């Protein structure tokens, strides 16, 4: 039982760190630039397809990952220049309608290019096997994802909280006119933030591709989780996005793995098999409601 809990805790950590890559870009665009981007999950999907296609063409996962992230960053740049600059000054309803249309366009475009079937994306051969940790074995590739997530979290903290560029971004979000009067190109900064968020989406999609199916519509479900993360952590807060991602990833993974087993100890097997997955699927939303009851602005509000 202890090994099962430890393994699922590591799975939750890995899932939470990948959620952080998605939530970090979303919380920057939503919290700092005040733009609701429902197409954020579509960038995750398109990035995963770019990585899978480039990996198949180059026969190298690492080359495919680099090409896919670069391709998603370029796509993010084009979207920001062509569409999102016009949405920043619009109301939230216009942003929701426009970005929802982008979801439909992205899904149909991907289906037209790659077809309805899922693409296969395999991890590097050197990381395909398990690694011994204490008394049990854990997949080496999942450990790599954990290491990637920790490294990106540290980089984002230094970039946003400690660097001059992060100071400019925060200043531009707080008072755009005054920041521009000081000679800072706020429009260029916002473009860079959006492109960086798109690259993080592609990185998450490429890293999770070998574990999940690379298929049309894969971004919608993860987008909901990303919004849950930034609401729990506090909109606009990178620290909140990290803590919220770890909470959601751990609670969701452990709930799905352990809740059905615990219910079987008190309920009939048929009832436990039906009730367990249902309760596990709503566990994170109950958690979100409980946190917001006590902390309406999230755990770490950006402007506290």
- 228 part of a folded domain: yes
From CA 217, how far away is CA 118, in angstroms rounded?
Answer: 11
- 300 part of a folded domain: no
- 17 part of a folded domain: yes
- 303 part of a folded domain: no
* 293-304 per-position pLDDT tens digit: 888 888 887 654
Q: Give the predicted TM-score (pTM) of the model.
A: 0.87
- 252 part of a folded domain: yes
Residues near 52 by Cβ (< 8 Å), separated by ≥ 6?
A: 64, 68, 119, 120, 121, 206, 209, 214
Mean of all residue pLDDT scores within the chain: 84
* 190-242 per-position pLDDT tens digit: 888 889 889 988 998 898 888 888 888 888 888 888 888 888 988 777 888 88
- pLDDT tens string, the chain, 304 residues long: the values are 667 777 788 888 888 888 888 888 788 777 777 788 888 889 999 999 999 999 989 888 999 999 999 999 999 999 999 888 888 888 888 889 999 999 999 999 999 999 888 888 888 888 877 887 767 788 888 888 888 889 988 888 888 778 888 788 777 767 777 888 888 887 888 888 889 889 988 998 898 888 888 888 888 888 888 888 888 988 777 888 888 899 988 888 888 777 777 777 777 777 777 777 778 778 888 888 988 888 888 888 765 4
User: What is the CATH classification number for the domain harbouring 243?
Assistant: 1.10.3470
**What secondary structure, in 3-state letters, does the chain show?**
CHHHHHHHHHHHHHHHHHHHHHHHHHHHHHHHCCCCCCCHHHHHHHHHHHHHHHHHHHCCHHHHHHHHHHHHHHHHHHHHHHHHHHHCCCCHHHHHHHHHHHHHHHHHHHHHHHCCCCECCCCCHHHCCEEEECCEEEEHHHHHHHHHHHHHHHHHHHHHHHCHHHHHHHHHHHCHHHHHHCCCCHHHHHHHHHHHHHHHHHHHHHHHCCCCCECCCHHHHHHHHHHHHHHHHCCCCHHHHHHHHHHHHHHHHHHHHHHHHHHHCCCCHHHHHHHHHHHHHHHHHHHHHHHHHHCCCCCCCCCC
Residue pair 264/272 in contact (Cβ under 8 Å)? The answer is yes
From CA 45, how far away is CA 50, in angstroms rounded?
Answer: 9
Domain span holding position 138: 2-294
From CA 38, how far away is CA 220, in angstroms rounded?
Answer: 9
Which residue bears the tokens 């592609």? 202
- 304 part of a folded domain: no
**Structural domains counted in the chain:** 1
- 46 part of a folded domain: yes
């Amino acid at each position: 039982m202890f090994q099962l809990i430890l393994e699922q805790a590591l799975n939750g950590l890995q899932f939470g760190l990948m959620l952080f890559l998605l939530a970090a870009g979303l919380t920057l665009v939503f919290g700092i630039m005040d733009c609701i981007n429902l197409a954020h999950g579509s960038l995750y999907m398109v990035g995963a397809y770019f990585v899978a296609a480039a990996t198949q063409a180059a026969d190298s996962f690492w080359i495919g990952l680099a090409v896919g992230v670069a391709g998603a960053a370029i796509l993010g740049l084009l979207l920001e220049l062509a569409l999102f600059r016009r949405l920043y000054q619009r109301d939230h309803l216009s942003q929701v309608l426009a970005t929802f249309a982008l979801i439909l366009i992205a899904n149909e475009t991907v289906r037209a290019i790659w077809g309805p079937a899922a693409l296969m994306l395999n991890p590097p051969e050197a990381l395909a096997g398990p690694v011994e940790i204490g008394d049990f074995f854990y997949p080496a590739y999942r450990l790599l994802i954990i290491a990637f997530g920790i490294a990106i979290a540290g980089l984002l903290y230094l970039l946003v909280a400690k660097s001059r560029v992060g100071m400019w971004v925060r200043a531009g979000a707080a008072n755009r006119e005054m920041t521009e009067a000081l000679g800072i190109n706020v429009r260029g900064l916002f473009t860079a933030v959006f492109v960086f968020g798109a690259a993080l989406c592609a990185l998450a999609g490429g890293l999770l591709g070998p574990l999940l199916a690379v298929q049309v519509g894969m971004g919608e479900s993860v987008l909901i989780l990303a919004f849950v993360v930034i609401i729990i952590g506090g909109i606009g807060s990178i620290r909140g996005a990290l803590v919220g991602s770890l909470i959601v990833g751990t609670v969701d993974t452990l709930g799905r793995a352990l809740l059905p087993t615990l219910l079987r100890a008190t309920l009939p097997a048929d009832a436990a098999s039906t009730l367990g997955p249902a309760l596990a699927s709503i566990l994170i939303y109950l958690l979100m409601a409980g946190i917001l009851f006590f902390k309406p602005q999230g755990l770490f509000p950006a402007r506290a």
